[in-house]
Structure 1
Amino acid sequence: MNLVTNNNNHWRIFLTICLVSLITLTGCQTTSDSAVTGGSNSEEIESPMADVTQNQSTDIDNNIMNLPKLEGKAIVEMKVKGQSITIELDGNNAPITAGNFLDLVDKGVYDGLVFHRVVTEPQPFVAQGGDPQGKDPNFPVSRLGTGGYIDPNTNSQRYIPLEIRPQYDESAEDATPPEIIYSQTTDVTPQLRHEYGVIAMARSQMPDSASSQFYFTLADLPFLDGSYAVFGRVTNGMDVVEGIAQGDRIDSVQVISGIENLKR
């Protein structure tokens, strides 16, 4: 699933086209935000996306004000196989995406969930998890990657919009961040790019279909920029991330700092 190959441009273009065309989940029929093919031996090329029902509303604008937002930064600690991964969430540049993730962390949604898709061959690509259906050990492995967070207040799945802030000089004292682009892919260079060791949201072909599934990047993946929302980065424990195998479970995720910056 990696786009870095020895045949340079032609092979890369071919794989990129395959990735884009298989942005939806090829597992089962419903919901969510991951790009899995179902089984661990699948040889199809896919991107970090998921299947969604066709009747899903895309009218995110009416709900955007009700979504959690992170105003500033926050730190969370994820434990996998007893080892720690420290993640800095960037609410300055991805307030809704980071806020959604922090809210789900605070609710304990990710505890016990499975990394249902880990792609390391032929090149490192992503380690993807966050499907709440994976908490049930009897849930079919072939269907993991089709689920998202069900909000108990609405009894329906929470979706968040695709969120991309164009690049700017964040270090400049008089820097004015450009407006965030919502609900559409873009060719502009984003402020938060798909560099090695970032965390981003998986989604389906529909831009506003991310819910709870996320992925860690195992390499620089610039071809995903502008199509998926990066919302933070691993600051410690990338060796743990690189050791994640498909089927490994998240022991726990807890907020270390910044919960006061979460607005719900």
Structure 2
Amino acid sequence: MHRKIQLLFAVLLIGGLMLGGCTPDQASVSSPTSPATQTTSPTTTPTTQTSSPQMNLPVLEGTATVVMTVNSSPITIEVDGKNAPVTAGNFVDLVQRGVYDGLVFHRVVRQPEPFVVQGGDPQSKNPNFPPQRLGTGGFIDPNTGSERFIPLEIKPKGAAEPVYSQTFEKARISTPPQLPHTRGAVAMARSQQPDSASSQFYFALADLPFLDGSYAVFGYVTDGMDVVDQIQQGDRIESAQVTQGAENLRGGQ
């Protein structure tokens, strides 16, 4: 019975990560005490990738360091383009564009167990935007006028290339990912569509192995995890800057 309860709790938590790109009337946002609520699929259906995507998207060839300031304190993130080049490239490009500056952490789940701190909805830059609708937006690329989606990208441990557009369960891969959901992992939120991540990301507040193979980790907090632990729902990202490795970005702004 205890195992069944744990499994149900994990399913509810995972459901809460399925965010991004929903119509306002479909969307709902979890409160810190209600991790079960989830949003629905994007209104724009992303294209499914079955192999390494062609580089219309930014790619990080190597690593980069991003320093995010929250509550006047720095959080240092090591972004891993060696193992998640498209996901890492997207994040670094958005940081370079200033997309994350001023955005809110709209979802914080610590009870009954530490889970995630999530933000990155560009709509949250507007202080008058209804809080209950946060978690529904993504980055609108000014070059296309449309929301930028990136493919689900997870590299099995020891593999030469990531798997694109499929969860490990769907692809029948039993190998653990190269970048697991350990405490301090930084990963992309998405809807039920695998290729629907855009700008929303989350910090893992604990080891979350039940997310491995389903959501794309692209880096880790290397300093300032104590700052992440203190983030409250509604706190804003004061700034985010690439302090090292910007030269490794290809195809960005």
Q: Return the TM-score normalized by structure 2.
A: 0.89
Distance 1:107 1:23, change over 3 A: closer
> Do residues 261 (structure 1) and 244 (structure 2) align?
no
Tell me which residue corresponds to 2:29: 38
Task: State the shift of 1:15 in Å.
Answer: 1.7
CA contact (8 A) 1:27 1:144 kept: no
Q: What secondary structure does 2:168 align onto?
A: coil
| 1:57 matches 2:42 | no
Structure-2 residue corresponding to 1:216: 203
The 1:27/1:259 distance shift into structure 2, 3 A limit, reads closer
Q: CA deviation at 1:207?
A: 0.2
1:213-243 deviation per Cα after TM superposition (whole angstroms, max 9, x unaligned): 0000000000000000000000000000000
- Picking from 33, 44, 62, the partner of 1:72 is 62
Tell me which residue corresponds to 1:15.
Answer: 9
The AA in structure 2 aligned to 1:56 is T
> For the Cα contact (< 8 Å) 2:60–2:86, is it kept in 1?
yes
Q: Which 5+ residue runs of structure 1 have no aligned equivalent?
A: 1-6, 169-176
Structure 1 residue matching 2:89: 3-state secondary structure: helix
Alignment of 1:1-264 (within 5 A): 8-20=2-14, 24-25=18-19, 29=23, 37-38=28-29, 40=31, 43-45=34-36, 51-60=40-49, 64-168=54-158, 177-187=159-169, 188-264=175-251
Instruction: Using the TM superposition, name which of 84-93 and 182-191 deviates more.
Output: 182-191
Which TM-score applies when normalising by structure 1?
0.85
In structure 1, the residue corresponding to 2:151 is in which secondary structure? coil
Identify which range, 110-119 or 14-23, moves more after superposition: 14-23
CA offset at residue 38 of structure 1? 2.1
The answer (yes or no) to whether the contact 1:76–1:86 under 8 Å persists in 2 is yes
Letter of the 2:250 counterpart: K
Q: Which moved more, 1:91-100 or 1:63-72?
A: 63-72
**Contact 1:60 1:160 (8 Å CA) reproduced:** no
Q: Which SS does the other structure have where 1:116 is aligned?
A: strand
Per-residue deviation, 1:13:
1.4
Report sequence identity in percent: 58
| Counterpart residue identity of residue 180, structure 2 | R
Contact residue 19 and residue 191 of structure 2 kept, 8 A? yes
The count of residues paired between Structure 1 and Structure 2 equals: 244
Q: Which amino acid aligns with 1:180?
A: P
RMSD: 2.4
Q: CA deviation at 1:45?
A: 1.7
* Distance apart, 1:37 and its partner CA: 4.1
Contact 2:13-2:36 within 8 A present in 1 as well: yes
SS at match of 2:243: strand
Query: Would you say the 8 A contact 2:30–2:36 is kept in 1?
Result: no
**Cα deviation code 1:107-166 (max 9, x no counterpart):** 000000000000000011000000000000000000000000000000000000000100
Shift of the 19–241 alpha-carbon distance from structure 1 to 2, 3 Å rule, reads closer
Q: Which range moves more in the overlay, 245-254 or 177-186?
A: 177-186
Segments of structure 2 that go 5 or more residues without pairing to the other structure are 170-174
Residue 172 (structure 2) aligns with: none
Q: Give the Cα separation in 2 of the matches to 1:93 and 1:30.
A: 34
Mean Cα deviation higher: 203-212 or 12-21: 12-21
How far did 1:11 drift? 1.3
Instruction: Please say if residues 27 and 143 of structure 1, whose CA atoms lie closer than 8 Å, have aligned partners that are also in contact.
Output: no
